[in-house]
A and B are shown apart, each in its own frame.
Chain A
Amino acid sequence: QSVLTQPPSVSGAPGQRVTISCTGSSSNIGAGYDVHWYQQLPGTAPKLLIYYNNNRPSGVPDRFSGSKSGTSASLAITGLQAEDEADYYCQSYDSSLSGSVFGGGTKLTVL
């Protein structure tokens, strides 16, 4: 299982708001390491969606936002659109492993 825990799936209707959680521990998110989020559309490479907990790279719509508190982080998507249907992954650094760690991924279905 992954070091960071995400729900396997979430869903929502167009226009709705969904959140994806990412739960870590005292050796990664809880130790203060930053969380980044990636979107992976079917058949494509992952794309950076949120960096440094709550910052969007150029070109990412402001419908996407991130937050972090304690040993967890969350990705929120508002105004859900059909094109948001994808897999989403959180990433952080783990001091006990001396390397990056990913969540298991969450499949977002737009109903």
Chain B
Amino acid sequence: EVQLVESGGGLVQPGGSLRLSCAASGFTFSSYEMNWVRQAPGKGLEWVSYISSSGSTIYYADSVKGRFSISRDNAKNSLYLQMNSLRAEDTAVYYCARAGILQSLDYWGQGTLVTVSS
């Protein structure tokens, strides 16, 4: 059974940093591209970042470019999102999602809440 479990969320002050993790199981993690998607309270979905299966190709949404960094450790079946210079508008539930056929997101984690507030 495919499972994605996010962790690392919490309360952080504006300008602070946080590192999210996503533990994958039930599939060959190293063969799949991965994404981070976020959802602000009461709002819609926003794509945040993409990483290829090898980690060699990475993309970011303009809203996080230069502040967030995606990475993966295929030996540990884990995906990461390093978030720096956090702003109030980064407050959201962050989901990791596996990329399936033609970049559809076929499996999602349960999400981890990040709150940026003083």
Contacts and interface: CB of A to CB of B under 8 A. Distances in A.
A91 interface: yes
B111 A45 contact: yes
Query: DSSP class of B's interface residues: helix, strand, loop or mixed?
Result: strand
Contact of A103 (B44, B100, B101): B44
B95 A45 contact: yes
A46 B110 contact: no
Interface of A: 2, 34, 36, 38, 40, 45-48, 51-52, 55, 57, 87, 89, 91, 93, 97-105
Contacts of A102: 37, 44-47
15 contacts: A34-B102, A45-B109, A45-B111, A48-B100, A48-B104, A51-B102, A51-B104, A91-B105, A99-B59, A99-B61, A100-B35, A100-B47, A100-B103, A102-B44, A105-B45
B105 A48 contact: yes
Interface of B: 35, 37, 44-47, 50, 59-62, 95, 100-111
A65 B101 CA distance: 17
A98 B104 contact: no
B50 A100 contact: yes
Which 3 pairs between the two chains have the least Cβ-Cβ distance? A51-B104, A100-B47, A105-B44
Given A52-B101, A89-B44, 19 more contacts: A34-B104, A36-B103, A36-B104, A38-B45, A45-B95, A46-B95, A46-B108, A48-B100, A51-B100, A51-B101, A52-B102, A55-B101, A91-B45, A98-B59, A99-B59, A99-B61, A100-B35, A101-B47, A102-B45
Query: DSSP class of A's interface residues: helix, strand, loop or mixed?
Result: strand
Contacts of A40: 45
Given A48-B100, A101-B47, A38 B59 contact: no
Contacts of A97: 61-62
A51 B106 contact: yes
Contact of B108 (A45, A55, A98, A104): A45
A51 B47 CA distance: 17
